[in-house]
Structure 1
Amino acid sequence: MNPKVTDYISSNIKWQKELEIIRNVLLELPLEEDIKWGIPAYIYKKKNIMGLSAFKNYCGLWFHHGCFLKDEINILINAQKDKTKGMRQMRFISVDEIDTDIVKQYVLEAMANSEAGLEVKPKKNTNPVVIPEELNIQFSKNEKLKYKFNEFTLSKQREFCEYILSAKREATKQSRIEKIIPMILNKIGLNDKYRNC
């Protein structure tokens, strides 16, 4: 039992019973328990299998490669159909909805699928990084900033640029520039806090 997961469950008072029931099923299996992206994560043979999480209106399991699960009783949800290819959710709104045998069956299938190498591999973005004019202006003023930016991977460079380009108002673009300059100088990616949990 990972104490960080215990803390996560204890802090989610509304869904505490439901999370504990699901967790007890997971702890019976040969899964490593950790915290990733701010939620409990369950790893099998060094591969992320699923996450356990609570939201305002429900709690549940997130199967990273759930699209490969048979789901014969049709309980899995693809919450972001246009964005998520592989992830599927099993949601609960009360203790009464949790059938521990079904949860265990789905988890065991997910583990078997992982061992079989079934996974959705993200497509690599090969498009060139489009640097916004506002950021180019900052680069011309600060050579160190440009140097540090170029040390990031292309995907992290793209995240910074898209963050600025997605702002509609000029004032928003400027506030975002002000936010990311210290991050770039300190070698902190825009979304690192989500990756390193």
Structure 2
Amino acid sequence: MPKPVMGRTNPKVDFFFEKASPWQESFRALRQIILDTPLTEDLKWGVPCYTLEGKNVVLIHGFKDYCAVLFHKGALLKDPQGVLITQTENVQAARQIRFTALREIHGMESLLKAYIREAIEVEASGQKVAYKKPSEFALPEELIAKLENVPGLQDAFESLTPGRQRAYILYFSAPKQSKTRTSRIETYTQAILQGKGLDD
């Protein structure tokens, strides 16, 4: 496999850096920093994603109040400076470094490069994040009720792969309102009975 050329941009990602955004300059600065590594630029989930031999290492994304570099296996990084942030409480592997101004990116350039180098080493070493088992997550009450009241649903749910179970639990648990949680569970009850996952 040929080694990626450092600094090579991917034309299919260019649109992301050209579209109007309050973070446009910041995105471009982050791109240059990441391209100064052996990672390959790609487009995944509509955002720039940087890979090592096809494995996702970091991506760039933006939100209303900040832009960020997300490390796919950030949980395995040492983080001596304490800058890594867990986006939500249910995220297990990924971690972000957030920026609210271009000057912050320039000020943290050497630190960011050090974190990216460590992320590359983690990926190259084959380390894996130890994900929680589905049984370690709290099931929403609405799902418990459904599992108890629909014949065969409990067995069908427990027969799903751990990844599928985890995806359902997180998806069903996310809404704050009970009626929304119930609606999601109703929508996917048949899929669970058929042994299908959230995205099947």
Q: TM-score, normalised by structure 1?
A: 0.65
Q: Matched residues in 2 for 1:157 and 1:11: separation? A: 37
The answer to whether structure 1 residue 109 and structure 2 residue 130 are counterparts is no
Residue correspondence of structure 1 range 1-16 to structure 2 within 5 A: 1-11=9-19, 13-16=21-24
Residue correspondence of structure 1 range 116-131 to structure 2 within 5 A: 116-125=125-134
Indicate if the aligned counterparts of 1:164 and 1:177 stay in contact, CA closer than 8 A. Answer: yes
C-alpha displacement of 1:171:
5.2
Structure 2, unmatched stretches of 5+, are: 1-8
* Identical amino acids, percent of aligned pairs: 34
The answer to whether structure 1 residue 40 and structure 2 residue 44 are counterparts is no
For 1:49, the equivalent position in structure 2 comes to: 57
Q: 1:31 to 1:66 in 2, by over 3 A?
A: same
C-alpha displacement of 1:69:
3.4
1:97 to 100, 104, 116: 104
The answer to whether structure 1 residue 19 and structure 2 residue 23 are counterparts is no
Paired letter, 2:115: Y
Q: 1:77 to 1:137 in 2, by over 3 A?
A: same
The answer to whether structure 1 residue 156 and structure 2 residue 164 are counterparts is yes
Structure 1, unmatched stretches of 5+, are: 141-147
C-alpha displacement of 1:57:
0.8
CA deviations over 1:161-181 (Å, ceiling 9, x no partner): 775688787854664356447
CA deviations over 1:148-197 (Å, ceiling 9, x no partner): 9999645435644775688787854664356447977999843x39xxxx
C-alpha displacement of 1:30:
1.8
2:69 to 61, 67, 71: 61
Q: TM-score, normalised by structure 2?
A: 0.64
CA deviations over 1:69-94 (Å, ceiling 9, x no partner): 3444x252323585445433211111
Q: Matched residues in 2 for 1:170 and 1:67: separation? A: 31
Higher relative contact order (CA 8 A, sep 6+): 1
For 2:86, the equivalent position in structure 1 comes to: 79
Paired letter, 1:110: A
Q: Secondary structure at the match of 2:22?
A: helix
Indicate if the aligned counterparts of 1:62 and 1:88 stay in contact, CA closer than 8 A. Answer: yes
